[in-house]
Amino acid sequence: MKKILFTILSFMLFSTTAIKAQQDEKDDRIRVIAIFAHPDDGDAKMGGTAAMLAEMGYAVKFVSITNGDAGHHEEGGGMLAKRRREEAAEAGRRLGIDEYKVLDNHDGELLPELHIRQQVIREIRTWNADIVLGLRPNDYHPDHRYAGVLVQDAAYMVVVPNVTPDTPPLKKNPVFLFMEDRFQKPNPFSHDIVIGIDETFEKKVDAFDAHESQVYEWLPWVSGNLDKVPDDPSKRKDFLRNGFIGNQKISEAKRQGLVKWYGTEKANSFKYAESFEICEYGHQPTDEEIRKLFPMLVKE
């Protein structure tokens, strides 16, 4: 009897120590969560940065608020959602991030409703996020707009204990950043933090390549160039490199952002970059804090 009790006690002690170690490890890492509308938005807007942060040991999670079940011309519903969830998981593996979660809300029908705000609050809290990335609420796609509103609506509430009390509140408000878009009204995107991603660009291409239903089927179909998709799988990544990921030119405003963080010479060497705008909600980081959060921003 004594022996059994001892075994149970040592097991409990061991498990507690193991959990404690896990938490410590968890606490040491800078924790990043990107929340967007569709499985592939995060890859498009910050795939290179996410891969770089993951390489640096950051805890990185992607969350798609909708399941993508409207994003196809021949498929739809639960089967498409299942296919896209699998594609997202594979894209997450290729980026090297910790998790790519797809919530089960319908695609094309997203509204900034309270129960979805609560889902977003829970995601940010359980990830214990230091940095939260979202979309601006002036995007062309209603799902993108409302995904942006949902993240902004959660920005203060994540620290309020009586809101969504089933999940403990954060002790401090994270930094909230917007991922880049091209929309000009009511105000153009501000390139506050610009990260050169040449070294992880191929990982971004690989992640995109995992979203087959989108990059080789739905998106070419909806933009009328399905006939341009190569049949030969070995040529498909070139289609991405020369297409909508590779041909995004660095604008003058974006280049100026690179110059601020990297200095002129290095800034001019980058072919690919991803930009982030600091949201007025949440913690307002100083330049020094930004360099700590994104240590790849080194001036030369």
Nearer to Zn ion, 37 or 121 (CB): 37
| DSSP class per residue in 166-200 | TSPPPSSPPEEEEEP----SSSPPP--EEEE-GGG
Tracing tokens 């690179």 back to the chain, one arrives at 258
| Min dist. Cβ of residue 144 to Zn ion (A) | 6
Is 107 a binding residue for Zn ion by CB under 5 A? The answer is no
Select the span of 32-40, 58-66, 183-191, 204-212 touching Zn ion (CB under 5 A): 32-40
Select the span of 37-45, 102-110, 242-250, 257-265 touching Zn ion (CB under 5 A): 37-45
| Min dist. Cβ of residue 107 to Zn ion (A) | 9
| DSSP class per residue in 251-280 | PHHHHHHHHHHH-HHHHHH-S-EEEEEEEE
Is 61 a binding residue for Zn ion by CB under 5 A? The answer is no
Nearer to Zn ion, 38 or 72 (CB): 38
Nearer to Zn ion, 59 or 132 (CB): 132
- With contact defined as beta carbons under 8 Å apart, do 44 and 181 qualify? no
Nearer to Zn ion, 109 or 238 (CB): 109
What distance lies between CA 180 and its chain's CA centroid?
12
Nearer to Zn ion, 140 or 165 (CB): 140
Is 45 a binding residue for Zn ion by CB under 5 A? The answer is no
Non-local CB neighbours of 182 within 8 Å, separated by 6+ positions = 189
| Min dist. Cβ of residue 88 to Zn ion (A) | 12
Q: How far apart are CA 255 and CA 233, in angstroms?
A: 34
Is 41 a binding residue for Zn ion by CB under 5 A? The answer is yes
In terms of Cα–Cα distance, which of 150, 96, 171, 93 is closest to 281? 150
Residues of this chain, 207-226, that bind Zn ion according to CB under 5 A: none
Q: How far apart are CA 180 and CA 36, in angstroms?
A: 12
- The radius of gyration of the chain's CA atoms, rounded to the nearest angstrom, is 21
Tracing tokens 């979203």 back to the chain, one arrives at 211
Nearer to Zn ion, 58 or 62 (CB): 62
Nearer to Zn ion, 33 or 37 (CB): 37
Residues of this chain, 237-266, that bind Zn ion according to CB under 5 A: none
Q: Which residue is nearest to Zn ion (CB)?
A: 38
Is 38 a binding residue for Zn ion by CB under 5 A? The answer is yes
Binding-site ranges for Zn ion (CB under 5 A): 37-38, 41
